[in-house]
Amino acid sequence: MRYTPNLPLNRGVRLKIYPTLNLQHGRVVSTAGQAEPCTETPLELVAHLLDEGATRLALVDVDAALGKGNNRELIAQLLQRCHARDRKVCVQVAGGIRSSDQAQFFIDLGAAWLVAGTILHKSPLVSEQLMARFQPFLTAAIDARGGRVHRSGWVDTASLSALELALRAKAYGFKRLLFIDIPEDASADPDFQTAQELAAATGLPLIMGGSLTSPRHLEAIPAHHGLKGALVDARLFQENPKLLAFLQAACA
């Protein structure tokens, strides 16, 4: 019997779940980059998730985020594989998108959303240039631990708070936020408080990721106003089949 999520049916909840492939050196790695790479290739893992009903995916170029190369051609292949399906699949691309040329490359391949992160606090001018050309596609990423911003693949700590960066993103014109909650350790509970504060202060729809690793975490999302969905490490869908039940909402 397939697992049925324990969601409040009276609210018509349709969680937007994005299985997330973190791509490094052409392979899928864990969010923190600590575990062994996935035994499946990225193309195999995407095919498996699509067969299970996924209508959304998130692709993160870890190498590009760290400034150590990129997985651009691999992401192009994954986007092409998604658009070859017989149903709409919405794909978000993140990691090292710091120029109009990079943004245009992924949009031309059918990416639904592009994530701008480090440039929000390192390159305000580039943020404004991207916003002028690609506003409908852009999502502002806020990577934070304990409410404080981290950047450049989590290896650098910024001097501003998550709330300050969220308000800056709204001032630039972003219409969508991605809050990546960097957990202190694997046993830490998700920081729903910061997520809800960001959504409330900006009035923008917010997707949360990073610390969401179990059905219990996903079932808790509807209780937090402003949260519209979650990024979940794609490898976890193999380890915990109960997560597959959250993939059924159509992409819109």
Tell me: pLDDT of 46 over 50.
yes
pLDDT of residue 71: 96
Predicted pLDDT of residue 249 = 63
Contacts within 8 Å (CB) and 24+ apart, 6-9:
6/215, 6/219, 7/219, 7/222, 8/222
Residue closest to 154 by CA, chosen among 80, 65, 242, 67: 65
Under the banding of pLDDT at 50, 70 and 90, the label for residue 32 is low
Give the DSSP letter of residue 38. P
Average pLDDT over residues 192-197: 93
Task: Summarize the confidence of residues 133-159 as an average pLDDT.
Answer: 77
Domains of the chain: 9-247 (3.20.20.70)
pLDDT of residue 33: 47
- Min mean pLDDT across 60-69, 124-133, 191-200, 225-234 is at 124-133
Rounded to 10°, the helix 100-108/124-134 angle is 30
pTM assigned to the model = 0.89
